[in-house]
Amino acid sequence: MSPQFRCPCCGYKTLTAPASMGLCPVCWWEDDGQEDADARQVRRTANGNLSLVEAREHFAECGAAHPSFLSHVRKPEIYER
């Protein structure tokens, strides 16, 4: 199955289903279903102590949902834009 859904953190089409705990290879955010409505909430689940707002800020600054994830991420493919 090819990725068709956008990551709520980085916005690239890297996920095969929404809210399915898929791990985005571009930013390393695990899609636990968090969206804009609760983006400031820290769920303390797959993404630890990160809120979606914080992860987006980190991605804008360093290219990963958190600087400690930099060794895991990759650049987006053209078809993921």
Residue 19: per-residue pLDDT: 94
Interval 22-39: pLDDT, tens? 999 999 999 999 999 999
Phi, psi of 32, rounded to the nearest 5 degrees: -95, 15
The bridge status of strand 5-6 relative to strand 13-15 is antiparallel
- The secondary structure of residue 76, as a DSSP letter, is P
Closest CA to 58 of 73, 44, 43: 73
* SS3 of residue 42 by DSSP: strand
Interval 43-76: pLDDT, tens? 988 899 999 999 999 999 999 999 999 999 999 9
